[in-house]
Amino acid sequence: MFDVFCTECSRRQLVFAGQVLGIRNDETGIHVVFRCSRGHVGVWDTGRRAAEAAAAHPVAA
């Protein structure tokens, strides 16, 4: 189970293993492709490299 933010729904959701469509690990981090409970497909970027990239390029609020 993962706690992710769905950009289509504009809210955080729990995603269960059955909603995971794929996982890719590359030099920018771990990318989990999921389908939210409303049917939208999203990507959750996680891992140390994704965290380092997010810290290096913060999003202005």
* Residue 33 main-chain phi, psi, to 5 deg: -90, 130
Domain chopping of the chain, boundaries = 2-56
Q: Is the pLDDT of residue 36 over 90?
A: yes
* Rounded mean pLDDT, 45-61: 71
List, in sequence order, every residue forming a beta bridge with 27; answer none if it has no partner: none
Q: For residue 54, what is the enclosing H or E element?
A: helix 48-56
Residue with tokens 């140390």: 48
* Residue 32 main-chain phi, psi, to 5 deg: -105, 115
Q: Is the pLDDT of residue 38 over 90?
A: yes
* pLDDT on residue 1: 87
pLDDT digit string, tens, across residues 18-29: 999 999 998 888
Q: Measuring CA to CA, how many Å separate 28 from each of 12, 18, 33?
A: 23, 25, 15
Number of residues that this document lists for the chain: 61
* pLDDT on residue 22: 96
